[in-house]
Structure 1
Amino acid sequence: MPLSRRSFLARMAIGLTSPYWLPLAARASSINRTSFKPTWGSLQGYVAPPWFRDAKFGIWAHWSAQCVPEQGDWYARSMYMQGEPQYEYHCRTFGHPSRFGFMEIDNLWKAEQWDPNELMRLYKAAGAKYFVALANHHDNFDTYDSTHHAWNSLNVGPRKDIVGGWAKAAREHGLRFGVSNHSAHAWHWFQTAYGYDGEGPLEGVRYDAARLAKADGIGTWWEGLDPQELYTGPNMVLPEGIRGAAAVKQWHEQHDGIWMETPSQYNPQFARQWFLRCKDLLDKYQPDLLYFDDSGLPLGQTGLDIAAYFYNANRQWNGGRLEGVLNAKKLMPEQRHALVEDIERGGSDAIRPLPWQTDTCIGDWHYSRARFEAHSYKSAGTVITSLCDIVSKNGNLLLSIPLRGNGTIDSDERHILEELAAWMSVNGEAIFGTQPWRVFGEGPTKVASGMFGENNAQAFTAGDIRFTTKGDVLFAITLGRPTASHVTLKSLASNVAGTIDRVEMLGSPLPLRFKRDVLGLTLEFPQQIQGKHAFVFKLMGHGLTSAT
């Protein structure tokens, strides 16, 4: 049904004035008749594109000015919370946040050693089929040529189009390109910048966001910029008179620290600006994937508006084919037909009928010097076995490799990428372009379903097997090196449909001896095979990969 004049004017008032919002007859020449509408019902017509189902593995650069201090996650929020390690570090290194706020860290981010082509070469060799760049975080800074937000990486800090540089490098190396948008939470997450110390010599002195206005920038590096645009305005400000650092922290956790997906009642303009910024991001870089760090879609109707816009625009960019992927978290069952669900730092305990994704990191999301010095990143083996488990259940893995503020990775991270590349060069056949089998696998180790399940995950063993299929081939992956000379796969006992004519191990051209009976398929494990992470048996025959 065409929009009424009243509805159309209402959409204009919140900035939704692109041709997408014209009645269907007026835009039929640019968007076909099956255009998505900004409702959950319409979005449920979405089908994930083949490229995403086949890709299986992507790498993410979760990189912005919060990596400059090298103090780990959520620096821009925690540096304003007295008693937090980032606050203590900030006071020692830069000064009190009433005098030196996060906007100054934005300007310290120079990305002076960033070489996206060299990094993309490493990512591609490590097996990545798609690459995702962080376009903004909860710190409300755009890392791209942002028309609607002056606090961006061309005006401040690097003076470079970070997203544009990543996009060019990814596409030159044949990778699909995505962007992640986290800024829908900035209006509450960044309110600590308006707070104050609860104790000590500067007790009650408001931090920089509460003191600075555009006029204060005259004669400074930020002349012409409005700090309130960056810090989002005083939406949920810590009230006067709260005493003690612990009490202040508790107030923040109970108010602005709650994860809210609704538009701000204090700042109605925020959702309008968010839409314009996100639309600008999509129009300029035409990504294949858009990741939202949100439970469902962000900011109520605004999230539905941008989801429909992305799908329709992506179809237009691709000659009528919908090639776009939209990630969000904690989806209701019916919402999983509208988006590709992302499970942060977690997994699944079963094969899921629709494609899904785990996103995780080898360390902290923002670069941590302490992680490197302690050599406490996830190992390449952990990444590989997690990938095999996820792929066996119809999922993809999006892995973040943290960058330092200068745009480089450290020696431990480079070594992990090189180990991934070595494993992929031998075993990638069992990962890319595969589908789940009748069962995902077998073995003693249980995987919890849901977000943050990896925090309590047990290490996989040689007794844990995962299955994938491609064409007429079945792959059986042991998630550890067997100590015995034989491996038995109970899921392939002689009463299971299909015949087996030949078995090989990837990395060796010689066929392996095997025996199949009611107890399972027993395979010879060649002791001369090199490796230490996961080993792939390639089973060839007839009827193995057909559905039960």
Structure 2
Amino acid sequence: MKTTSRRSFIRTSFFSGLTLFFSRNLVRAKSIINKITDPFKPNYDSLRQYECPAWFRDAKFGIFLHYGLNTVPGMNGHYGRFMYLQKKDPQFPHWAEWGKDVYQYHLDTYGHPSEFGYKDFVPLWKADKFDAEKLGAYFKSIGARYVVPVAVHSDNFDNWNSKHHRWNAKNMGPKIDFIGEWKKACDKLGLRFGVSEHMSTHIERWFHGTTDLEGPKAGIPYDTVNPDYEDFYVRRDPKNRNKVHAGFRQNWYNRMKDLLDSYEPDLFYFDGSFPYKDTGEGINIVTHFYNSNMERNNGKNEAVMCIKTHGNKEIEGTCVDDIERGQSDKLREIPWQTDTTINQGWFYLGKTDTVVTKVGEEAAMKGSKDKKLLDGPMVIQNLCDIVSKNGNLLLNVGQRADGSIPDLFKKDLDVIGQWLKINGEAIYETRPWKIYGEGPTIVTAGHFKEPSKPFVAEDIRFTTKGNFLYAMAMGIPKKPVEIKALGKNSKLLGKQIAKIELLGNAQKINWEFTAQALVIDVPKKIKSKHAVAFKITLS
């Protein structure tokens, strides 16, 4: 009896202590349980459990911000890559296409790469007009629902208070934790917050040059081979400069985990596919992103991982597929995203307000190179096409080195915002219909194939929400709109039409069925520009 009582006492004491421990350490206890039962494992079969969260499917429109050290010279988005290539190198087939002018520009403006290297732009970056809250409020006012600043580009300079890399914007240069500022601003403004990483798939092609190959300074080493800076320019395999040293992958992993754990983004973007597939650092980071997000959200996954799958069936369904400057030619079952840019080049390419010459003087910039790749109307039409096919649009805007956005880009952002104020009901919180649309304009699928010529009013795109079907005419109609998919002979509709309205217009809309089409009369005065949205109430 004494032994039994003692065992009972021990058992009771143990469970009482365990209960007390969990009650006092509830958060830690939940963390321990989650660690034991992490739903995602670092393999593709496990990651295919992933389901895109509703917030992303509702948001539809976000802002991408390429901002970093590249912006200081403001001449080429891959400046740090091409300034060290004096002439064409067979290992870099894009030199003549993208970067042939960079070396000479650098030589004329700043000096020889052995005297003024890419690292020397760091103290020139002031960011004295950077204001994340002000910019975030502006982006929200034009209809953006999420903001994704670049955390680290291919140049290996971190835009946050990095624990594992001294070359970061909080420690050097502007002395600003840009990612931390954006996190605070987005939380305050009710915007979803994301970050992007561009280094893992590109770093081996950067800082590759070591010396001039010809001319009076041939053989004089660039600063890329100075051991004092090898943590920035990335130490190379001594037998092959095309490969970085073995420890870099672990450093990358540590930095990405620090980024995720310190700032808790809702969205994470890889500029490429899963990095380091052979050794697993990439898939481990994605797995950690999903599991840690669920841990914070009581078991609900709110994480969005954007990866360029390039049609790879092995990773399809593990993430949100991202198409760079391109679209889909069909309605996709799994949500996806287009990322594109309103300005030429992803970074601001108009130079800074002043440029620093090779002797250290400041000279007024002669003329602006501000140029647009897409205008507001084209972005609006592409947005309608993308959303109708179950996608989102992440639109990049280049910031000047001081942190501001040129008025040239703001004018088109304002155009997008004005359109969304009228027609946003047909975009936000919608889902694709049975078909994405109809019309004469053909969209070619794939990266770097985005439409650059306007759609026409005969191009119709559909979205749906509850009992409403939205039909967007991708231009301003000059005659009644005929929608063949909704004609009497079509079996797609399936319900009766109770009412048709034109968003932004109070006038009564007349319409009729024919065997071939639903024909909708268009008011003489239309408030919306560039595209119109009909709201069809179904009964």
Instruction: Tell me if both proteins adopt one fold, taking TM over 0.5 as the criterion.
Output: yes
Q: Which residue of 2 aligns with 1:288?
A: 266
Q: Does 1:200 align with 2:180?
A: no
Q: Which residue of 2 aligns with 1:15?
A: none
Q: Does 1:490 align with 2:510?
A: no
State the one-letter code of the partner of 1:205: I
Partner of residue 227 from structure 2, selected from 202, 209, 213? 213
Shift of 1:186: 4.9
Q: Closer, same or farther in 2 for the Cα pair 1:107/1:186, shift >3 Å?
A: farther
State the one-letter code of the partner of 1:159: K
* Alpha-carbon separation, structure 2, partners of 1:464 and 1:236: 57
Task: Note the 1:91-102 alignment, pairs <5 A.
Answer: 91-102=107-118
Shift of 1:322: 0.9
State the one-letter code of the partner of 1:209: T
Shift of 1:458: 3.6
Shift of 1:380: 0.5
Shift of 1:203: 2.3
* Alpha-carbon separation, structure 2, partners of 1:500 and 1:99: 72
Please state whether the residue corresponding to 1:295 is helix, strand or coil. coil
Q: Which residue of 1 aligns with 2:513?
A: 516
> Which stretches in structure 2 are left out of the alignment for 5+ residues?
1-28, 88-99, 352-366
Q: Closer, same or farther in 2 for the Cα pair 1:377/1:510, shift >3 Å?
A: same
Shift of 1:110: 1.4
CA contact (8 A) 2:40 2:290 kept: yes
Task: Describe the superposition over 1:150-177 as per-residue Cα deviations: whole angstroms up to 9, x where unpaired.
Answer: 1001111110101000111111111110
Q: Which residue of 2 aligns with 1:251?
A: none
Radius of gyration: which is bigger? 2
* Alpha-carbon separation, structure 1, partners of 2:472 and 2:276: 38
State the one-letter code of the partner of 1:232: V
Task: Note the 1:102-141 alignment, pairs <5 A.
Answer: 102-141=118-157
Q: Structure 2 length as normaliser, TM-score?
A: 0.85
Q: Percent identity?
A: 41
How many residues matched? 478
Q: Does 1:269 align with 2:259?
A: no
* Alpha-carbon separation, structure 1, partners of 2:442 and 2:433: 18
Please state whether the residue corresponding to 2:261 is helix, strand or coil. helix
* Alpha-carbon separation, structure 1, partners of 2:224 and 2:189: 42
Shift of 1:533: 1.1
CA contact (8 A) 1:327 1:339 kept: yes
Please state whether the residue corresponding to 2:200 is helix, strand or coil. helix
Q: Which residue of 1 aligns with 2:313?
A: 333
Q: Closer, same or farther in 2 for the Cα pair 1:32/1:131, shift >3 Å?
A: farther
Partner of residue 526 from structure 1, selected from 519, 523, 527? 523
Please state whether the residue corresponding to 1:397 is helix, strand or coil. strand
Q: Closer, same or farther in 2 for the Cα pair 1:32/1:433, shift >3 Å?
A: farther
Q: Which residue of 2 aligns with 1:147?
A: 163
Q: Which residue of 2 aligns with 1:17?
A: none
Once the two structures are overlaid, the 10-residue window that deviates more, 291-300 or 275-284, is 291-300
* Alpha-carbon separation, structure 1, partners of 2:103 and 2:382: 34
Q: Which residue of 1 aligns with 2:420?
A: 424
* Alpha-carbon separation, structure 2, partners of 1:524 and 1:121: 38
Shift of 1:418: 1.3
* Alpha-carbon separation, structure 2, partners of 1:119 and 1:394: 28
Please state whether the residue corresponding to 2:195 is helix, strand or coil. strand
Shift of 1:483: 2.4
Task: Note the 1:145-544 alignment, pairs <5 A.
Answer: 145-192=161-208, 194-210=209-225, 212-214=226-228, 227-235=229-237, 256=242, 266-300=244-278, 301-329=280-308, 330-363=310-343, 364-369=345-350, 373=369, 375-454=371-450, 457-484=452-479, 486-495=480-489, 496=491, 497-542=494-539
Shift of 1:372: 5.9
Q: Which residue of 2 aligns with 1:222?
A: none
Please state whether the residue corresponding to 1:368 is helix, strand or coil. coil
CA contact (8 A) 1:344 1:451 kept: yes
Please state whether the residue corresponding to 1:539 is helix, strand or coil. strand
Q: Closer, same or farther in 2 for the Cα pair 1:458/1:378, shift >3 Å?
A: closer
* Alpha-carbon separation, structure 2, partners of 1:48 and 1:36: 14
Task: Describe the superposition over 1:187-219 as per-residue Cα deviations: whole angstroms up to 9, x where unpaired.
Answer: 412232x42223222223221111x233xxxxx
* Alpha-carbon separation, structure 1, partners of 2:334 and 2:534: 26
* Alpha-carbon separation, structure 2, partners of 1:57 and 1:99: 44
Partner of residue 39 from structure 1, selected from 43, 51, 57? 43
Shift of 1:288: 0.4
Q: Which residue of 2 aligns with 1:69?
A: 73
State the one-letter code of the partner of 2:333: P
CA contact (8 A) 1:448 1:457 kept: no
Q: Structure 1 length as normaliser, TM-score?
A: 0.84
Partner of residue 83 from structure 2, selected from 71, 79, 84? 79
State the one-letter code of the partner of 2:111: G
State the one-letter code of the partner of 1:213: P
State the one-letter code of the partner of 1:514: W
* Alpha-carbon separation, structure 1, partners of 2:373 and 2:459: 23
* Alpha-carbon separation, structure 2, partners of 1:26 and 1:321: 14
CA contact (8 A) 2:338 2:393 kept: yes
* Alpha-carbon separation, structure 1, partners of 2:368 and 2:189: 28
State the one-letter code of the partner of 2:43: T
Partner of residue 60 from structure 1, selected from 60, 64, 67? 64
Shift of 1:271: 0.6
Q: Closer, same or farther in 2 for the Cα pair 1:149/1:431, shift >3 Å?
A: same
Q: Closer, same or farther in 2 for the Cα pair 1:328/1:372, shift >3 Å?
A: farther
* Alpha-carbon separation, structure 1, partners of 2:522 and 2:238: 62
* Alpha-carbon separation, structure 2, partners of 1:404 and 1:81: 25
Shift of 1:236: 7.6
CA contact (8 A) 2:123 2:172 kept: yes
Please tell me the root mean square deviation across aligned C-alpha atoms, in Å: 2.0
Shift of 1:33: 2.4
Shift of 1:331: 4.5
CA contact (8 A) 2:80 2:207 kept: no
Q: Closer, same or farther in 2 for the Cα pair 1:372/1:505, shift >3 Å?
A: farther
Q: Which residue of 2 aligns with 1:242?
A: none
